[in-house]
Amino acid sequence: MTILIENGTVLSATGSSVHDVLVDGEKIAALVEHGSALTASIRADRVIDATGKYVIPGGVDVHTHMEMPFGGTQASDTFETGTRAAAWGGTTTIVDFVVQSHGQRVQDQVALWHRKAAGNCAVDYAFHQIIGDVNAESLKAMDELIGEGITSFKLFMAYPGVFLSSDGQIVQAMQAAARNGGLIMMHAENGSAIDVLVRQALASGHTRPYFHGTTRPWQTEQEATHRAAVLAELTGAPLYVVHVSAKQALARIAEARNAGLNVFGETCPQYLYLSLEDQLGAQGEKWRDFEGAKWVCSPPLRARAEGHQDELWKYIRTGAVTAVSTDHCPFCMKDQKEMGIGDFSRIPNGIGSVEHRMDLLYQGVVDGRISLQRWVDVCCTAPARMFGLYGRKGVIAPGADADIVVYDPAGHTSIGIGEGRVHHMNMDYSAWEGYEIAGRVDMVLSRGIVIKDSTGYVGTRGHGRFVARSLAQNLL
């Protein structure tokens, strides 16, 4: 099957040009000058007119948690529902986290995640490994996983008793990564300090969701980010700090990069748009009642008045933020978030956004925050390079997988579960209700197959394949 995507503006991380894109089977075969004799000679099985539209690489979301067990429940999107929602929103590759907790064997968990995902996904998928129990067995497994295409390892400085690694354990895991070429991903919040603040808040009757944010202040993120960067310098491991929400933490990442270290930052749409004030009520109320649980995630949404969002966009422009991912970790209000009524510390942490990342970041282009090229870079190309997918994913070039999005800048997207709005994630609410985007995902191809068109999702369960990743391709 050959497809010709005609006359679109093909965007890359570095530029744009009006070209026809020829797809042959699963791959991109050629970029051809529109109207040239060569184009005229091509007899494609299907022609897609992209006049007036952007043709971009399929989105690469390197931070999702499908079906992740958390706090006595599990994330409400399965690999099936979550990757279908990703397809709706123009994301054609996800990298999900295999979870190893205390007492579990890493390789058993990897096998479990393969079983959960295989045959269910609408788009391609890869895995990172969460090491929640750094010990001799898990350190050995880190070496084995490199050969299995799982080349990045997430550690936690938060969640004592669940996932938290001591500084000594972090050093050991970083030494392993420095040796085997893997990438350390860090959840950088000072969990011990946070636990004290949480206990104090609950003891004084501050039990509502709003206090999730006030008990995880930016200092706890800044301190942990700084410590992680210093330990990375000590061990020589590359470090990617996930879901950064505080401007002070990003300043530490920028500082480390300026010092020449392989330190990278990631942020998420929720930290660019939503804020702690969303958990406060309308005028007159002191804070929203339990509805604030919709926006409970860690690190928390930051106070708008503290000025984080402008700084985060600045760091996207200037490079300390390498990738924008979703940290997609959805829970329903009913029976899930509700577990925390009367005690905010029992609310499962996470927000669902896998469907909306491409749109929300495109709105950053419309708002004059980032260029078109930076949009493509942080959503597609840079995450592919950071996580060893580039060449196959993240670029429109001959030989790459034909993962392509046709994006309509004249279109419009209303997000939410209300009438006329879009939301295909398995959640009973949208954290993004009422957000309006001046653009629209028009068509999505995954390895040469149209999986979303103007009629909606037209893909199939099981089309998505596991992608074994190489080592990071962008180390300084």
Compute the residue count for the chain. Answer: 476
The CB-of-177 to ligand URP minimum distance in angstroms stands at 19
The CB-of-369 to ligand URP minimum distance in angstroms stands at 23
Q: Rounded to whole angstroms, how far apart are CA atoms 351 and 349?
A: 7
Q: Rounded to whole angstroms, how far apart are CA atoms 394 and 23?
A: 16
Q: Which tokens is 150 given?
A: 């799982």
Residue 350 touches which member of Zn ion, ligand URP, none, C-beta under 5-8 Å by kind:
ligand URP
How many chain residues bind Zn ion (CB under 5 A)?
A: 2
Residue 278, φ and ψ in degrees, nearest 5 = -60, -20
Residue 297 touches which member of ligand URP, Zn ion, none, C-beta under 5-8 Å by kind:
ligand URP
Q: Which tokens is 315 given?
A: 């760091």
Q: Does residue 327 belong to the site contacting Zn ion (CB under 5 A)? A: yes
Q: Does residue 243 belong to the site contacting ligand URP (CB under 6 A)? A: yes
Site for ligand URP in 292-321 (CB under 6 A): 297-298
The CB-of-297 to ligand URP minimum distance in angstroms stands at 4
Q: Rounded to whole angstroms, how far apart are CA atoms 259 and 229?
A: 11
Q: Rounded to whole angstroms, how far apart are CA atoms 167 and 459?
A: 45
How many chain residues bind ligand URP (CB under 6 A)?
A: 9
The CB-of-65 to Zn ion minimum distance in angstroms stands at 5
Please select the residue that binds Zn ion; options are 53, 84, 187, 302, rule is CB under 5 A: 187
Q: Whose structure tokens read 């061990």?
A: 235
Q: Which is nearer to ligand URP, 350 or 464 (CB)?
A: 350
Q: Which is nearer to ligand URP, 222 or 298 (CB)?
A: 298
The CB-of-336 to Zn ion minimum distance in angstroms stands at 16
Site for ligand URP in 10-69 (CB under 6 A): 65
The CB-of-369 to Zn ion minimum distance in angstroms stands at 24
Residue 57, φ and ψ in degrees, nearest 5 = -65, 150
Helix, strand, coil percentages for the chain (3-state, nearest 5): 35, 25, 40
Q: How many CB atoms lie within 10 A of CB 115?
A: 10
User: Quick one: which segment of 125-133, 142-150, 184-192, 353-361 binds Zn ion (CB under 5 A)?
Assistant: 184-192
Q: Does residue 355 belong to the site contacting Zn ion (CB under 5 A)? A: no
The CB-of-47 to ligand URP minimum distance in angstroms stands at 42
The CB-of-448 to Zn ion minimum distance in angstroms stands at 31
Q: Which tokens is 207 given?
A: 């039990």
Tell me if residue 384 falls in helix, strand or coil.
helix
Residue 152 touches which member of Zn ion, ligand URP, none, C-beta under 5-8 Å by kind:
none
Q: Rounded to whole angstroms, how far apart are CA atoms 184 and 241?
A: 8
The CB-of-468 to ligand URP minimum distance in angstroms stands at 23
Residue 357 touches which member of Zn ion, ligand URP, none, C-beta under 5-8 Å by kind:
none
Angle between helices 167-180 and 218-235 (to 10 degrees): 50
Tell me if residue 416 falls in helix, strand or coil.
coil
From residue 197, give the alpha-carbon distance in Å to each of 18, 190, 244: 55, 11, 20
Angle between helices 136-147 and 167-180 (to 10 degrees): 30
Q: Does residue 385 belong to the site contacting Zn ion (CB under 5 A)? A: no
Residue 226 touches which member of Zn ion, ligand URP, none, C-beta under 5-8 Å by kind:
none
Please select the residue that binds ligand URP; options are 19, 128, 187, 424, rule is CB under 6 A: 187
Cβ-contact 131, 142 below 8 angstroms? yes
Binding flags for Zn ion, 277-296, as an x/- string (CB under 5 A): --------------------
Residue 349 touches which member of Zn ion, ligand URP, none, C-beta under 5-8 Å by kind:
ligand URP
**Strands 124-131, 152-156: parallel, antiparallel or unpaired by DSSP?**
parallel
Q: Whose structure tokens read 């939410």?
A: 416
From residue 101, give the alpha-carbon distance in Å to each of 105, 164, 176, 186, 396: 8, 10, 19, 16, 38
Q: Which tokens is 328 given?
A: 């997609």
CB-closest chain residue to ligand URP: 349
User: Quick one: which segment of 129-137, 326-334, 435-443, 447-455 binds Zn ion (CB under 5 A)?
Assistant: 326-334
The CB-of-54 to ligand URP minimum distance in angstroms stands at 30
What does the buried/exposed string (b/e) look like for 293-315 if buried means 16 or more CB atoms within 10 Å of the residue's CB? bbbbbbbbbbbeeeebbebbbbb
Residue 139 touches which member of Zn ion, ligand URP, none, C-beta under 5-8 Å by kind:
none
Q: Does residue 327 belong to the site contacting ligand URP (CB under 6 A)? A: yes
Positions that interact with ligand URP (CB under 6 A): 65, 187, 243, 297-298, 327, 329, 349-350
What does the binding site for Zn ion look like in residue numbers (CB under 5 A)?
187, 327
